[in-house]
Amino acid sequence: MADAWSRRRAVTLTLAIELVLAGVAIGAARVTSPQLGPDYVDIAKVPAATVPVAAPGSYTWDCGRNEIGHRNTANIVVTPRRPGPVHHVHDYVGNLSVDVGSTVESLPGAATTCTNGDQSTYYWPALRMGGTGEHGGAVQVPAEVTLRFYGNARTPVVPMPQLLRGAVGDAYAYTNGGALAAPVWSCSGETDRRTLLYPVCGRGERVLRIFDFPSCWDGRRVDSKGHRQHLVFPEAGGGCPVSTFPVPRLELTVAYDVPRGTPYRIDAFDAQRHSPRTDHAFFVNLMPDGLMRQIAECLNAGRTCR
């Protein structure tokens, strides 16, 4: 009897640890149908989260949705001039010159998909429909990509410098403990519910990936070791840590039309098991200086601009 009780306790403890690592509250219902599995969760069962605090102003612009198919295995921030594995493809909007031979410094002057002249690059892992096979199904073109800047609720923002890098999420979160993993997954009708799992959305709703980037700059560097130290997240309440300055906060939202009950997954590195916890995104700022100043003025005045 004691041995049976110990085994039951061990199973319960293991399940609890797995749920915590997945970012789901203990006791929250999970979708475990044979077609989907433990990486999926019904969005209705995800608790509402605290979203980043922002000032009233916003600036929204259009860079398309990668309908032209600009994608490759490069990561010019982390591994410039080095191709990545074939099963880890990035989608891009913005700067059209990004390829496996690019560096951040090679981007200025290139053509762009952005209608306002923004030459920045914005990228994230491709999403594929289907959850079987080594690489999954065909890459899905987003139904919509929204780029939006917000101000800071406590302090006026300063313009971003040219070539500032930003990163959110962690491509190795499944195997390294997930300290940098970000709950980016949501649904179009439930944007206050964000999860580290693939959401199963209500009928008629789109699957969303909402990448909220850090927005407190150290005022000196455009990059740093690990690509995280020069641009950090605000503290609770929205203020920036000491010795950092608020810049416009980028919210990148990528929406997909995924029929309810259909499996899907992102491209990932070896050993990461296509885990939704490994979702991530990057940007390199090449917004024209004059436009960036106008954006900062718009946000600090609390206006809604396009």
Per-residue pLDDT band for 35 (boundaries 50, 70, 90) equals low
Query: In this structure, what token pair is assigned to residue 14?
Result: 């293991």
Higher pLDDT, residue 15 or 134: 134
Residue 46 and residue 24: Cα distance in Å, rounded? Answer: 7
Q: Which residues pair with 124 in a beta bridge?
A: 91
Task: Specify the pLDDT at position 20.
Answer: 39
**Domain layout of the chain by residue ranges:** 1-26, 31-305
Q: What are phi and psi of 58, to 5 degrees?
A: -155, 155
Q: Is the pLDDT of residue 13 over 50?
A: no
pLDDT at residue 51, rounded to an integer? 80
pLDDT for the residue 134: 63
**Which percentage of the chain shows pLDDT scores above 90?**
81
Confidence of residue 181 (pLDDT cuts 50, 70, 90): very high
Is residue 196 within 8 A of residue 24, CB to CB? The reply is: yes
pLDDT tens digits along 274-291: 999 999 999 999 999 999
User: Alpha carbon 83 to chain centroid distance?
Assistant: 21
Mean pLDDT of 230-256: 96
In order, the DSSP letters of 243-271 are: T-EE-PEEEEEEEE---TT--EEE---TT
Residue pLDDT, tens place only, 115-145: 999 999 999 999 999 866 666 689 999 999 9
Nearest partner of 256 among 145, 123, 113, 130, judged by Cα: 145
Closest CA to 268 of 176, 183, 170: 170
Q: What is the pLDDT of residues 247-265, one digit of tens each?
A: 999 999 999 999 998 999 9
Tell which wins on pLDDT, 127 or 54. 127
pTM beyond 0.75, yes or no: yes
- Tokens 């560097």 locate to 221
Q: Which of 88, 164, 101 is nearest to 127 (CA)?
A: 88
Q: What is the mean pLDDT of residues 36-55?
A: 89
Identify whether the C-beta of residue 279 lies closer than 8 Å to the C-beta of residue 182. Answer: yes
Where are the extended beta strands (E) located within 95-206? Answer: 121-125, 127-129, 144-150, 165-169, 185-187, 198-200
- Specify the pLDDT at position 23: 40
What pLDDT is attached to residue 131?
62
Res 135: pLDDT: 66
The answer to whether 302 and 292 are in contact (CB under 8 A) is no
Mean pLDDT score of the chain = 89
Mean pLDDT of the 210-221 span: 98
